[in-house]
Structure 1
Amino acid sequence: MKTILLIEDNLDIRENTCEILELAGYKVMEAENGKVGVAKAMETHPDLVICDIMMPVLDGYGVLHIFSRNPDLARIPFIFLTAKTERTDFRKGMELGADDFLTKPFEESELLKAIEGRLSRFEQLDQVRIRADYDLNSNGLQEFLDDVQLTVELESLSVDRKSHFFPKKQYIYTEGDRPSRVYFVRKGTVKTIKMNPEGKEFITGLYGPGTFFGYLSVLEKMDYADSAVCLEDTELIYIPQTDFEQLLWANKQISHQFIRMLAGRVIEREQQLLTMAYSSLRRRVANMLLQLNEQASEETKVIRFSRDDLASMIGIATESLIRTLSEFKQDGLIEISGSSIRVLQAEKLRRANW
């Protein structure tokens, strides 16, 4: 028998709702205000909570806030019961993590349907096991989103993932734009850049097939701190901001999966900054070639970037890059054909003491 905690300060409503739930086969605990409700929840860990918003001592928003910060309570389905109908009230509740809203007065069937839906969804959450890793370079994004579909009710993720095509040199967004989505690279390569006051470009990130970008600004709820430009003809998939946020916070396993996928990018950025700050010119060029070589197609292992772009990635003058590449070629470490570069001796590049 499922246990429901009903937090409601109005005695008549509390008694009537309690009677409906008991007739439907639920065990019901009652609380006359938010403070009492939180204490009972911590003690008994109910299967679901129905909570009024406007209450003395501690209102419904306060109750939900406490639930969201307590690991033992955070995963309990939470339904707001309220007379408020303003959109801002619904928005605030959803931002705090409410799973559903019921507006007074409500029909008995409406109440029971909401409860059944929430309980069913959270049973699915407990049963689903998100795999430890996905091959995002093949069909991993589709597999990941399909697995998430079992746990998250997102209409926009249930339809085909439409591809959006961008030609080479096309801007996807510019610094200062307001983020509205997260991007997944299906084909092609995207660079993110910042410009200094003199107009010199510095590449802050490279994103090839199987990678996400644009997510940091979405998570921080801030304007884009850089611009994104296609280095070649590129195919992108959009994940709207609201869907991404729900996807990320839907359950702990999904959150951990995204953290693993995104953390690598942060580590790369930190390594890039350390290299720029302390390494020699030859070491900086070698490290960038090794990184790009790992990202290159397994079939060709060819690095195809303009000399200006390579110099911007490393933060050096183009002339210095060209001179260093020529030295590497003379040493037999790399092969150069036009704008293409092939690493011939990766281990020597990695171990050289420059």
Structure 2
Amino acid sequence: MKTILLIEDNDIIRENTAEILELAGYAVLTAENGKVGVEQALATKPDLVVCDIMMPVLDGYGVLHIFTQNPQLAGVPFIFLTAKTERTDQRRGMELGADDYLTKPFEETELLSAISSRLNRFRQLQPDYDLRAPEGLGNFLDDAAAAGQLHDLTTDRRPHALRKKQEVYAEGDEPTRLYFVQTGRVKTVRRNPGGKELITGVYGPGEFFGYLPLLEPGPHADTALVLDDATLLYIPKDDFRTLLHRNAAVGQQFVRLLAGRVSTREEQLLGMAYGSIRRRVADALLRLHEQAGATPEAVIQLSRDDLAAVVGTATESLIRTLSEFKQSGLIELSSHGIRLLQPEKLRQPNW
């Protein structure tokens, strides 16, 4: 049974509306002002809130602000119920994050339809999404859009085709969007004053990139370049940030993505500082093997220069180490790329 929190200062309207909701099969919590309503919500989290705007102690705008800022309450569907009909009032409510707006007097069916519609849209996000699967991004964005009421995430998914070596963004650029790789691959690189390149990430189908400066505002710290002809989906910055603020589950999803990238970056830097060249090459091959699918048939397709930039070594040193691995029967080198024959041995710490 879904629980509705009804916040209304008019006793008659509150009692009549609560009766309608109970007859429709909802459990109803009632509050005579915004302060009491917030206290009720913190004690028992509702599935949806119906809230008047003009109330004593704490008005509806204040209640909605508290809901959007409180991690425990963020993402709860919120319907304003008010006698005000001016467009400016409606706009203010929607800008604050309200999901619907009903004016008094209202029909019973109008109220019940609005509640049913909001509850159906606000599905709980799954804890994890298989973003490598063709339907993974669709499921994630559909659920994210339902949870955050951001229609642009599902309606503005026009694919953008980019050619090999094309620049997606440059170091120092202001971030404008989140990127998702639909096909192809993209690398992110940083260069020292002498022009030497270090690849900080390689992103393939099913992966997001460019989200760090959106989570921690600032310019891009690296440059993104297309490795193979690629198709990217763009998600506007404002939609992404609003979604994170409004739904904790979506935020947690990207925190996990970010944590994984930070962990990989730290391992990469530690390896450069303390690991042998053989260990660093082995670790890089294992990461790329995992990204390629981690199957015996998986092929790592990366130029020697790019692979050297991932490892953080000279191309000559990389080629020499790959030859040693090949002679030891650990990898197979061909015109198609690199295939790992014995990944379990590459994982051994004695390099």
* Match status 1:291 vs 2:287: yes
TM-score using structure 2 length: 0.76
Please state whether the residue corresponding to 2:88 is helix, strand or coil: coil
The corresponding residue for 2:308 is 311
Is the counterpart of residue 214 in structure 1 residue 217 in structure 2? no
2:152, 2:239 within 8 Å by CA — same for their partners in 1? Answer: yes
**Structure-1-length-normalised TM-score:** 0.76
Q: How many aligned positions are there? A: 340
Specify the alignment match of 1:326 in structure 2: 323
Distance in 2 between residues matched to 1:266 and 1:211, nearest whole Å? 15
1:182–1:214 CA contact under 8 A, matched in 2: yes
Stretch moving more, 319-328 or 253-262: 253-262
User: What secondary structure does 2:220 align onto?
Assistant: coil
How far residue 307 of structure 1 moved from its aligned partner, in angstroms, is 2.2
Answer whether contact 2:75 2:147 (CA < 8 A) is retained: no
Within-5 A mapping of 1:106-145: 106=103, 108-109=105-106, 113=110, 116-118=113-115, 120-125=117-122, 130=126, 132-134=128-130, 136-145=132-141
Question: What's 1:186 paired with?
Answer: 182
Paired residues for 1:79-118 under 5 Å: 79=79, 85=88, 89=92, 93-94=96-97, 98-100=98-100, 106=103, 108-109=105-106, 113=110, 116-118=113-115
Change (3 A) 1:111 1:258: farther
Q: Is residue 50 of structure 2 the alignment partner of residue 52 of structure 1? A: no
CA contact (8 A) 2:157 2:233 kept: yes
Deviates more, 1:302-311 or 1:240-249: 240-249
User: Mind listing any 5+ residue stretches in structure 2 that lack a counterpart?
Assistant: 23-27
Matched, 1:166 2:167: no
- Alpha-carbon deviations, 1:194-248, whole Å to 9, x = none? 2223322221111011211112222234332222110111111223334434555
- Matched residue SS, 1:108: coil
Q: Which runs of 5+ in 1 are unaligned?
A: 9-13
Percent identical among aligned pairs is: 49
**Shift in alpha-carbon separation, 1:139–1:78, aligned structure 2, 3 A:** closer
Amino acid in the other structure paired with 1:318: T
Q: 1:110 to 1:311 in 2, by over 3 A?
A: farther
Shift of 1:303: 2.1
CA distance in 2, matches of 1:325, 1:250: 48
Aligned twin of 2:25: none
Q: State the superposition RMSD in angstroms.
A: 4.0
Offset at residue 174 of structure 1 (A): 1.5
| Distance of 1:241 and 1:110 partners within structure 2 | 38
